Amino acid sequence: MNTADLEALVAPVATAHSLEVDRLEVMTAGKRSVVRVFLDGDGPAGRGPSLDEIASATRDISATLDEADITRGRPYTLEVSSRGVTRPLTEAKHFRRNTGRLVEFQLADGSVTGRVVGITDGVVDVDVEGAARQIPLAQVQRALVQVELNRPVEGETDDEAEDAEEGKD
């Protein structure tokens, strides 16, 4: 199964759902193939696709692949998901879609961890422990979203967050 042929089939379906194909993987598992499609897009809030958007695109991608018979009758498993938080941020759109998230930046002179505030003209605005910092994309060697289990809610004060935590007992 050729990934270029696969992308030619999947990309228009993703585009019809206002999504884009981030990457494709095809793996052989015995007589069966596993086709993995990773989608990205702005989503309803401009911060990535929703589960509903991914589910809707999955149904249409599945139907398209079945009609095209790209596997020539051989069984395959289709897995469709978002790009995921473990993927490095490499383009301006990735940083824009992760506004408000904590990101670790690997730079030539060390690492910086801060919350993405926005991006303008190839420069990422970051809040590093209350101090504003601008990091040009050209200086970023690697950037990864840091998973936060107790991520602050926008507009919520620290006291409100503590009250909510105490109420969980």
Tens-binned pLDDT, residue by residue, of the chain (169 aa): 788 889 999 999 999 999 999 999 999 888 888 999 999 998 877 778 999 999 999 999 999 999 998 888 889 999 999 988 889 999 999 999 999 999 999 999 999 999 999 999 999 999 999 999 999 999 999 999 998 888 666 655 555 545 555 554 4
Rounded distance, CA 129 to CA 91, Å? 24
* The pLDDT value given to residue 169: 44
* The pLDDT value given to residue 159: 54
* The pLDDT value given to residue 30: 85
Give the residue from 166, 113, 164, 161 showing the smallest Cα distance to 135. Answer: 113
CATH class of 3-82: alpha beta
- Alpha helix stretches (DSSP H) within 26-88: 51-68
Rounded distance, CA 60 to CA 63, Å? 5
Amino acid at 70: I
CATH topology of domain 92-145: SH3 type barrels. (2.30.30)
Is residue 9 within 8 A of residue 68, CB to CB? The reply is: yes
Question: Taking the domains of the chain in order of start, what are their residue ranges?
Answer: 3-82, 92-145
What lies within 8 Å, CB to CB, of 21 at 6+ separation is 7, 10, 11, 14, 37, 38, 39
